[in-house]
A and B are shown apart, each in its own frame.
Chain A
Amino acid sequence: MTRLFTSTVGKKFVMAVTGAALFLFVVGHMVGNLQFFLGAEALNRYGHFLQSNVELLWTARIGLLVMVALHVWSASALARANRAARPVQYANWKPNSASYASRTMVMSGLIIMAFIIFHLLHYTVKVPAVNLTGKDFNTMTETLTGDSTRHDIYEMMVLGFSQPLVSGFYILAVGLLCLHLSHGVSAMFQSLGLKNHNYGPYLDRAAKLIAIVLFLGYIAIPVAVLLTKCGGCCP
Chain B
Amino acid sequence: MKITLKVWRQKNANSPGWFKTYQSPALNENMSFLEMLDVVNEELANRGEEPIAFDHDCREGICGTCSCVINGKPHGPHKGIATCQTYMRSFRDGDTIVVEPFRAKAFPIIKDLVVDRKAFDRIQHAGGFISVRTGSAPDANAIPVPKENADLAMDAAQCIGCGACVAACKNASAMLFVAAKVSHLGLLPQGQPERYKRVKAMVTQMDEEGFGACTVTGSCEAVCPKEISLDFIARMNRDYGVSLLKGEPKKIAGGGAA
Known: A183-B216, A191-B214, A193-B239. A90 touches B69 (CB 8 A): yes
Whether B173 pairs with A193 at a CB distance below 8 angstroms is no
Which of B172, B213, B236 interacts with A193 by CB under 8 Å?
A: B236
Separation of A187 and B230 alpha carbons in the complex (Å): 11
Which of A12, A103, A200 interacts with B214 by CB under 8 Å?
A: A12
The closest CB in chain A to the CB of B216 belongs to: A187
For B59, what are the chain A residues with a Cβ–Cβ distance below 8 Å? Answer: none
Whether B237 pairs with A191 at a CB distance below 8 angstroms is yes
Which of A10, A91, A183 interacts with B100 by CB under 8 Å?
A: A91
The closest CB in chain B to the CB of A12 belongs to: B213
Whether A3 pairs with B200 at a CB distance below 8 angstroms is yes
Give chain B's interface residue range (CB within 8 Å of chain A).
Answer: 35 or more
Whether A9 pairs with B212 at a CB distance below 8 angstroms is no
Whether B234 pairs with A194 at a CB distance below 8 angstroms is yes
Q: Which of B99-129 contact A (CB under 8 A)?
A: 100, 103-106
B233 within 8 A of A: yes
Q: Which of B210-258 contact A (CB under 8 A)?
A: 210-219, 221-223, 229-231, 233-241, 244, 247
Whether A85 pairs with B172 at a CB distance below 8 angstroms is yes
Of B45-53, B86-94, B138-146, B201-209, the one with at least 4 CB within 8 A of chain A: B201-209
Separation of A7 and B214 alpha carbons in the complex (Å): 12
B171 within 8 A of A: yes
Q: Which of A88-117 contact B (CB under 8 A)?
A: 88-99, 102-103, 105
Most buried by A among B105, B171, B239: B171
Residues of chain B touching chain A, judged by Cβ–Cβ distance below 8 Å, are 8, 19, 69, 71-74, 98, 100, 103-106, 168, 170-173, 200, 203-204, 206-207, 210-219, 221-223, 229-231, 233-241, 244, 247
